[in-house]
Amino acid sequence: MKPELVIPFRGDPLARTGMTVLLLLIAVGLAGLATNYFGSATALGIARPLSAPGPGHLLGTDQLGRSLLPRVVAGIRSTFLLASIAVLIAAGIGTLLGLLAGYLRGFVDEIIGRLADLMFSFPAILLAILISAMFRPGSPTAIAAIVIVTLPVMVRIVRAATLAVAEQDFVIQARIVEAGLTRILFVHLLPNVAGAIVVQAAYSISLGMILESGVSFLGLGVQPPGASLGSLLHDGRVYLDVAPWLVFAPGAVLAATILSINLVGDGLRQLIDPLLE
């Protein structure tokens, strides 16, 4: 008997398309890092500055004569990586706080809820400016801004899922046998709210990419000679009239990546929602 082929997101062509595009973009970014197949992202003067896209340079060149294709590939890698790292940090902290708030309730829930409301009150870009003023512009600034913006949403999602699971019989039985808090949180509650965490993490990565691009566009994120999609948009805006490809290429890639992540998130939500009800 042949094993059945498992097709991700069966019956959801949009989610499958989004997953395909996302995996392709990630593969391109990793290939550029591992093999240098697309060329150097920092080599200066390899062609005439502001050359239009053509056979030698598929996406043209920038104001310093650097090929735009390897810089866009490096930008995909940087933007996605920074957003993913920040979301992983936010997911870890938010999961712990959400589990504590949803299970313990009372004073703990009130404190965590008010802290989440306080963090909601800071606009992301203003927060990035404040962080860069305290430290200095760079990748850590972008990561910190993404973490603080996505953390309160993660806390609320995990808290809401925990409130529903905490009243189930198996959790009540664990209390009766006096199971420890750590065991209840990570053995009984966490596996049952993991689906909500995964879905929210997918949406948070797309939000994180928007935030990272915005921060880098303001010059507070990835610094030269490094490249992110936001910093490429920042560099290309000056030459929009004479070299629109400097903005179009990274902008199109950023839009395609964010759309793909959101489609995958929608597919995950449709798969997991019935398990949460």
* pLDDT tens track for 125-147: 787 778 877 778 888 888 988 99
Any idea what DSSP says for residue 76? H
Domain residue spans of the chain = 13-27+69-276
pLDDT score of 87 more than 90? yes
Read off the pTM.
0.88
pLDDT score of 85 more than 90? yes
Q: Domain 13-27+69-276 classified CATH 3.40.50.300? A: no
Separation CA 160–CA 140 (nearest Å): 30
Separation CA 21–CA 124 (nearest Å): 28
Separation CA 119–CA 112 (nearest Å): 11
- With a pLDDT cut of 70, the percent of the chain lying above it is 92
pLDDT confidence band for 276 (50 / 70 / 90): very low
The mean predicted confidence, pLDDT, of the chain is 86
pLDDT on residue 84: 94
**What are the C-alpha distances in Å from 20 to residues 77, 153, 210?**
17, 27, 21
Q: Which H or E element spans position 68? A: helix 68-104
